[in-house]
Amino acid sequence: MNWESYKSIADTNLWSAILPEFVLVILALSLLLLDMFGGSKGRGLVGRVTMLGLLVLFVLSLTVLRDNLGYINQTTFSGMLLHSDFGQIMRLFFLASSLLTAYLGSVFLKKQGLPGTEFYAITLLVTASLMLLSQSNNFVLLFVALETVTIGFYVLVSYNRDRSNSLEAGLKYLIMGGFSTAILLMGIVLLYGIGSSPVLEGATAHSLNFSELRNFLELNSDNLIAKVGVLLVVAGVAFKIGSVPFQIWIPDVYQGAPTPVTAALAVSSKAGGFAVLIALVSGPFKPMADLLIPVLSVMAIVTILFGNIAALTQQNVKRLIGLSGVSHAGYLLMGVVAMFTVPSAQNAIVFYLITYLLASYAVFGVMAHVSKRGQDDAQNLGDYQDMLKESPFLAGVLVLGLASLAGIPPLAGFIGKLLLFYVAFEAELYTMLAVAIVGVVISIYYYFGWIKEATFRIWKLPLLEGEEPEEPREWPEVSRTARLTLGGLALLALLLGLYQGPLSSLIG
C-alpha cells in the first residue's frame, strides 16, 4: 500500500462517529481503576457508576446523539462501519438492555455474595461490541465484534464460579461457541476466497466488504462455494439467535448462568444475532434469496415448533424461558424471510425485539428478586406458588411480562406479533403463518401454566395429626428502585400495547 491509501484510511477514521462505544470502553477501564484504587468505598460505587453511565449514554443517544453527530448513512473506518438509522436504533436497544442487565446484576450479585466489578466491566465491553456489531459493514469487523461479545459471555456465564451449575454452563457455552465460531469463520473465509478469485466475473479485492460482496454475489449467485460460504455464515449466526439446529446449548446454559447473564443472553445476544442477520439479508446476502428463503423458512418452522414443544414440559423456569426464547427466534426468523420480499419487515423485527426486551426483563427481574440469599435462585415453577397473595406487585409484573411474551392483547407483545404476522401475510408466507399460530397456541400452555402457578389459589390438604405446618416461604421486600424499574417495564409493556405513537416510525 502506498502513502496515499494510508492517508485515505486515516481520513476515514472518524472516532467521533463511535463516541458511545468509545465512552463505554473508557468507562469499563475506569471501573477497574476504581476497583483497584478506590478501596471498599470505590468498589461499592462500581454498580451505580455503571448504571449511571449507561443511563446518561442512553439519554444522550436518544437526544443529542440521535443523528450520530451527522454521521448517518455513511461509512467510516475505510468501509468497516456503516452508520444507519437501523444501527442507531440497535445502539439504543443494546444500551437499554445493558442498563437493565446491570440493574439485575446489582440486585442479584449482592444476594449471591459475588464480586461486582468484573461483571460490570465485561457487560460494558460486551455492550460496546454489540453496538459495533450492529453497524458493521465488513466481515472482519463483524467477526471481531461478534467474538468479543462471545468471549465476554464465556466469562459471564461461569461468573458464579463456586457453583458447579455455572461452571458447567460456562464450559458448554465455550465448546458450542467455539464450534459456531469455527463455522462462521469458515464461511467468511470461503466468501473471501471465492469473492476475490480472479477467474470469476465481478471479482473484487475487497470481498469482505458488504457492498462489494453483494455486487459479486449478484453476478455469481449460482456458485457452489459462494452458496456454501453463505450457508456457513448463516449457521454461525443461527447459534447466536438460538435457532434450530443450533439451539442445543440453550436450556443448560440458561439454567446454569447467573440470572442477569441469562437475561443478557436471552435479549442482547439474540438481538445481536438478529442485527447481523438483518444487515446480511438486506445487504450482501440479498442476491442469495433463492437459496436462503427455503433454508430460513425451514429453520423458522422447525424452530417455532421445537421451542414451543420443548418448553411444554419444563418445570425449571430458566429452561422454560430459554426454550420459549427459541420459539421467539422462530417468529423473528419468519420476519427475516419476509424481508426478502417486503423490506419493511425489518421494522417489524425491531419492534418485536423491543417488546421482547421489555417483557423479558420484567420476567427476569421478578426471577432475580425472588431468588434466595446465598442459594440458587428460585427456578422451579412451584417456587412461585401463592405469589399473588404474598407479593402482589411482583405477581402483577410477572403476569404482564408473561402475557406480553405470549402475545396477548392489550400488551406490547401482541402488537409485535401482529406486525410480524402482517409482514408475513404481505410476503405471502402462509405455511409459516399457520405454523406460527400453532406455536402461539401451544405457548399458551406453558406461559399461562406459569401464571397459574403464581396466581391461582391452591388447595392444601388439611394437616394430619402430628404433622407440622410447612414453613411459610419468605417473600422478598420490594425496594422502591425495584418498584420503579420493574413497574416501569411492565407499564411500558402495557402502554406500548395500547399506544404505539412514539414508535410509529417503525410501523407501516
**β-strands 74-76, 81-83 pairing:** antiparallel
Check residue 445 for interaction with another protein (CB under 8 A): yes
Among 408, 429, 489, 490, binds another protein (CB under 8 A): 408
Q: What are phi and psi of 378, to 5 degrees?
A: -65, 105
Interface map 68-97 toward another protein (x if CB under 8 A): ------------------------------
Q: How many residues bind another protein (CB under 8 A)?
A: 39
Check residue 409 for interaction with another protein (CB under 8 A): yes
Check residue 437 for interaction with another protein (CB under 8 A): yes
Helix (H) / strand (E) element for 74: namely: strand 74-76
Give dist(CA 453, CA 394) in Å, integer. 13
Give dist(CA 429, CA 478) in Å, integer. 45
Check residue 501 for interaction with another protein (CB under 8 A): yes
Check residue 492 for interaction with another protein (CB under 8 A): no
Q: Which stretch binds another protein (CB under 8 A): 39-47, 80-88, 298-306, 419-427?
A: 419-427
Check residue 405 for interaction with another protein (CB under 8 A): no
Instruction: Please report, as a single letter, which amino acid is at residue 302.
Output: V
Check residue 449 for interaction with another protein (CB under 8 A): yes
Check residue 421 for interaction with another protein (CB under 8 A): yes
Q: Which stretch binds another protein (CB under 8 A): 42-50, 125-133, 320-328, 497-505?
A: 497-505
DSSP state of 245: T
List, as own/partner pairs, every contact residues 202-211 make where C-beta atoms lie below 8 angstroms and the sequence separation is at least 24, other chains included.
206/79, 208/138, 208/139, 208/140, 209/79, 209/137, 209/138, 209/139, 210/82, 210/137, 210/138, 210/139, 210/279, 210/280, 210/283, 210/284, 211/79, 211/137, 211/283, 211/284
Check residue 499 for interaction with another protein (CB under 8 A): yes
Q: In this complex, which beta carbon is closest to another protein, that of residue 152 or of residue 407?
A: 407
List, as own/partner pairs, every contact residues 415-419 make where C-beta atoms lie below 8 angstroms and the sequence separation is at least 24, other chains included.
415/351, 415/355, 415/496, 415/497, 415/500, 416/348, 416/351, 416/352, 416/354, 416/355, 416/356, 417/331, 417/352, 419/347, 419/348, 419/351, 419/352, 419/507
Under rule CB under 8 A, which residues in 451-480 are in contact with another protein? Answer: 451-452, 455-457
Helix (H) / strand (E) element for 75: namely: strand 74-76
Check residue 354 for interaction with another protein (CB under 8 A): no
Check residue 500 for interaction with another protein (CB under 8 A): yes
Check residue 382 for interaction with another protein (CB under 8 A): no
Q: Tell me whether the omega of the peptide bond preceding residue 410 falls within 30 degrees of 0, making it cis.
A: yes
How many of the other CB atoms lie within 10 Å of CB of 52? Answer: 14
Among 121, 194, 399, 493, binds another protein (CB under 8 A): 399
Q: Kindly report the length of the chain.
A: 508
Minimum distance between the CB of residue 394 and another protein, rounded to whole angstroms? Answer: 15
Are the C-beta atoms of 18 and 69 separated by less than 8 Å?
no
Minimum distance between the CB of residue 51 and another protein, rounded to whole angstroms? Answer: 26
Check residue 312 for interaction with another protein (CB under 8 A): no
Among 9, 155, 426, 478, binds another protein (CB under 8 A): 426
Q: In this complex, which beta carbon is closest to another protein, that of residue 286 or of residue 452?
A: 452
Closest CA to 373 of 255, 252, 474, 484: 474
Minimum distance between the CB of residue 88 and another protein, rounded to whole angstroms? Answer: 20
Q: Which stretch binds another protein (CB under 8 A): 15-23, 114-122, 366-374, 445-453?
A: 445-453
Minimum distance between the CB of residue 430 and another protein, rounded to whole angstroms? Answer: 9
Q: Which residues bind another protein (CB under 8 A)?
A: 388-389, 392, 396, 399, 403, 408-410, 414-415, 418-419, 421-422, 425-426, 433, 437, 440-441, 444-445, 448-449, 451-452, 455-457, 498-504, 507-508
